[in-house]
Chain A
Amino acid sequence: MLAPTLVAVGIAYVFPIFQVLRWSLFDVDIGGGSDAFRGLDNYRAIFGSDEFWNAASVTLRYAGGVLFGTLVTGLAIASLLNQPLRGRGIARTLFLIPYAMPLVVIALIWRWMFDAQFGVINYGLVGTGVFDARVPWFSQPSTALPAMIAIQVWRMAPIATVLYLAGMQNIPHELKEAARIDGASSWQVFWHVTLPGLRGVTASLVLLLGVYLFGRTFEVILLITGGGPIGSTENLALQAYLRAFQFLDFGSASALSSIILAVTLILALAYLRIAPKAAAT
C-alpha cells in the first residue's frame, strides 16, 4: 500500500543510528581495515577531554542565547505587525528575507559585516560612539560567540515572528476588549492577556528551535570561525563534524553523536513533561 514507502524511508534513519552506535564502540578504520574493538573507550575519552566540556558549555550558551534573542525579537516584531499599520503586508514579507537566504551567503556577508578592519558593523559602532575602537569580533573568544548568536538570531527571528503573529491573531478580541474596559493599560493587556495566550507557541518554538540549536546547526560557525578562537565557538555538533572529517576518528565522532542524540532526547522528553502544549504540534 502507501505506507511501505514510509517504512523504506524509516530504514534510512534507523539503520544509521544502529550503525553509529556500533561504531562508537570501535576504533573505526575507514581505510577498510578491520575495526578494533574499544568498548566504551571512546566514550571515556570524550568525557575526559576538555574539548567536550568546552563544547558543551558553548552549546548551552549558544542555544540559550539564540533562543532568548529569537523569542524576544519574534515577539516584538509580531506585536508591531499585529497593529493596523500601513505597509505591514510588505513589511511582513521583508521580514522573512533572513530565512530565505542560503547559509553560505549568510555566512559570507555577515563575516564581511563583522570584519575587524573594514566591516560596516564596527564602522557603525565606532562612528556612533558606542565603542572606542573597532572590535576584532572573530579574533577574540569574548566576542566570537556573541557575534555568532547575533547572526543566528537574525536568521531565526522570522520563524518566531510568523508563529507569534499567527498566535496573536488567534487570541479572541473579546478578551482584550474586556481587559481594556476594565481599565487595563496596553502594557497590562499584553502581559496578562496576550502573553499567556501565546504560551503554546512559545512552548513549540522552544522545543523545535532548541532541538535544532542543540545538535544540528553548525554550518555558519564552520564557515566563519571553524570553531573560533580557542574553541570558543565550537559547539557539540561542530565538534562531532570535526572529529569525523578533520581528525578522521569516526569512532569518536560516532560516540559524540550518540551522546548528543541521547542528551537531546532526554531534554526533549523532560521538556514535553513540563510543557505539554508543545506536544500539540
Chain B
Amino acid sequence: MTAGSPLRMPRRPRSGPVWSRWIRGAVSYLLLGLGLTLAAFPLYWLLVNALQDPSLRFEYPPSILPKRPTLDAFAGVFERTDIAKWLLNTTIVAGATTGLTLLIGSTGAYALSRFPSRRITVAGFAILITQMMPPVILMIPLYRILLTLNLNDSYAGLVVANFVFLIPVVTWLLKSMFDAVPRDLEQAALVDGANRLQVISRITMPLALPGLIASGVFAFIESWQEFVFARALIRNDDLWVGSLGIASFFGFRTTPWNDVMVAALVFALPPLLLFLVFQRYFVAGLTGGVKG
C-alpha cells in the first residue's frame, strides 16, 4: 500500500458476498478450536487426573471435568514418591549438558561460519548422517568407553552421553545463527584494531543471542526428556533422572494414580514453561535455518 496516495480504492471483499465470508470465518474458528483442543487435551487430561480423588480412578465413564477435586496429590507427591530427587538430578544433568553443548558447539559453529572451507558441506552432510543412526550404534561403544573411565552411573557419564547426542544438531543450529550475523561488522571492528576475542564478545555474541537462547532451550528440553541413555547408564537409585522415574510408573502398580499424574505434570512443567517463554526465539531459529 503506497502511503500518501491521494486516491484510496475501497477494498472489495475478495471472495464473494458477506455471508459467505462470515461462514468461512466461523468455520475457521471452529477448526482452530478443534485443533487446539486436540493439541492441548493431553495436558489438560493430565491436570484433571492429577486433581482427581484416587478412588475415582477406575471409574467409567471418565468425567471430563474433575469430579471430586483434591489437591492432596500436589502436596503428597513429594513425600510419597522420589520426584524431588528426580527433579534435582534432571536439572543437574540437563543444565550441565546445555552449558557444555553451547560452549563447545558455539566455538565449533563459529569456526564453521567464519572460516569457510569445503569442510562445511562435509560437516553439514555428516550431521545429517549422525541423525540417521539408531541410538544403539552410539550407545554401546559409548557405554564401553564410560565403563573404562568409570563414568557410567554418574552425572558426568550421562552428561557426556547427552552432549555427544546433541552436539551435531546444536552446532548446526548455532552455525546458522552465526551466519546471520554480518561479517562486515566484525571486519570493521577488526580493522579498527580490536582483537578477535573482543569482536566476538562485544559484537557477535549480542547479535547471536536469540540463536544462542534458542539452541540452549532446545538442548535443555532434549536432555531433560532423554530416556534411552539414562536407562542404559544409570543403575543407582539416587541418580535417577525424571524420565526414569516417570517410566517406573508404567504398569500402574501401587503408586496412587493422582500422585503419578502430579509427578508427570511436575516433570513436564519446566520444559513446557521454558518453551513457552522462549518460543519466539525458537521459532525464529527454526525458520531461519530453513530459509538458509
Nearest neighbor of A201 in chain B, beta-carbon distance: B290
Residues of B within 8 A of A45 (CB): none
Within 8 A of A (CB), among B205-236: 221, 224-225, 227-228, 232
Chain B contact residues: helix, strand, loop or mixed: helix
Contact B168 A268 (CB under 8 A): no
Interface size class of B (residues with CB under 8 A): 35 or more
Task: Given A104-B246, A219-B228, A261-B133, verify A162-B286 contact (CB < 8 Å).
Answer: yes
Residues of B within 8 A of A15 (CB): 141
State in angstroms the CA–CA spacing of A162 and B214 once bound together.
15
Contact B60 A180 (CB under 8 A): no
Residues of A within 8 A of B249 (CB): 108
Within 8 Å by CB of A241, from B126, B136, B265, lies B136
Give the contact stretch, choosing among B68-76, B108-116, B149-157.
B108-116
Within 8 A of B (CB), among A165-183: 166-167, 170, 180
Residues of A within 8 A of B291 (CB): 166, 170
Nearest neighbor of B104 in chain A, beta-carbon distance: A5
Contact B111 A104 (CB under 8 A): no
Residue B15, interface by CB 8 Å: yes
Residues of A within 8 A of B268 (CB): 101-102, 105
Task: Given A100-B272, A257-B137, verify A105-B246 contact (CB < 8 Å).
Answer: yes
Residues of A within 8 A of B89 (CB): none
State in angstroms the CA–CA spacing of A20 and B49 once bound together.
44
Residue B36, interface by CB 8 Å: yes
Residue A163, interface by CB 8 Å: yes
State in angstroms the CA–CA spacing of A203 and B183 once bound together.
30
Residues of B within 8 A of A6 (CB): 108, 111-112, 123, 171
Within 8 Å by CB of B35, from A80, A212, A236, lies A80
Nearest neighbor of B25 in chain A, beta-carbon distance: A85
Residues of A within 8 A of B104 (CB): 5, 9
Residue B276, interface by CB 8 Å: yes
Shortest CB distance B201–A (Å):
14
Chain A contact residues: helix, strand, loop or mixed: helix
Nearest neighbor of B137 in chain A, beta-carbon distance: A257
Residue A148, interface by CB 8 Å: no
Contact A212 B136 (CB under 8 A): no
Task: Given A101-B268, A180-B14, verify A211-B131 contact (CB < 8 Å).
Answer: yes
Residues of B within 8 A of A241 (CB): 134-136, 228
Give the contact stretch, choosing among B2-10, B38-46, B77-85, B184-192.
B38-46
Residues of A within 8 A of B246 (CB): 102, 104-105, 108
Nearest neighbor of B142 in chain A, beta-carbon distance: A16
Residue B132, interface by CB 8 Å: yes
Most chain A beta-carbon neighbours within 10 Å: one of B36, B119, B286: B36
Residue A118, interface by CB 8 Å: yes
Contact A20 B227 (CB under 8 A): no
Contact B141 A16 (CB under 8 A): yes
Task: Given A93-B279, A109-B42, A123-B62, verify A250-B140 contact (CB < 8 Å).
Answer: yes
Residue A215, interface by CB 8 Å: yes
Contact B32 A85 (CB under 8 A): yes
Within 8 Å by CB of B132, from A119, A201, A250, A265, lies A265
Nearest neighbor of A103 in chain B, beta-carbon distance: B225
Residue A281, interface by CB 8 Å: yes
Contact A237 B232 (CB under 8 A): no
Task: Given A102-B242, A105-B267, A108-B260, verify A113-B42 contact (CB < 8 Å).
Answer: yes
CB-defined interface of B46-63 with A at 8 Å, one 1/0 digit per residue? 100100000001111110
Task: Given A2-B107, A111-B250, A261-B132, verify A85-B140 contact (CB < 8 Å).
Answer: no
Task: Given A104-B246, A118-B58, A204-B290, verify A94-B40 contact (CB < 8 Å).
Answer: yes
Subset of 17 A-B contacts with CB under 8 Å: A1-B111, A2-B115, A5-B108, A6-B108, A9-B108, A12-B142, A13-B164, A20-B140, A85-B25, A88-B32, A100-B221, A101-B43, A104-B247, A112-B45, A211-B132, A216-B133, A241-B134
> What 20 new A-B contacts, CB under 8 Å, besides A76-B35, A108-B264, A200-B290?
A1-B115, A9-B104, A13-B130, A76-B31, A91-B32, A93-B276, A97-B272, A99-B275, A100-B272, A103-B227, A104-B225, A105-B265, A106-B42, A117-B60, A118-B58, A118-B60, A123-B61, A170-B291, A241-B134, A244-B139
Chain B residues near A (Cβ < 8 Å): 14-15, 24-25, 28-29, 31-32, 35-36, 38-40, 42-43, 45-46, 49, 57-62, 64, 104, 107-108, 110-112, 115, 119, 123, 126, 128-142, 164, 167-168, 171, 221, 224-225, 227-228, 232, 242-243, 246-247, 249-250, 260, 264-265, 267-268, 271-272, 274-276, 279, 283, 286-287, 289-292
Chain A residues near B (Cβ < 8 Å): 1-3, 5-6, 9-10, 12-13, 15-17, 19-20, 23, 76-77, 80-81, 83, 85, 88, 91, 93-113, 117-120, 123, 127, 154, 157-159, 162-163, 166-167, 170, 180, 185-186, 200-201, 204, 208, 211-212, 214-216, 219, 223-224, 236-237, 240-241, 244-245, 250, 253-254, 256-258, 260-261, 264-265, 268, 280-281
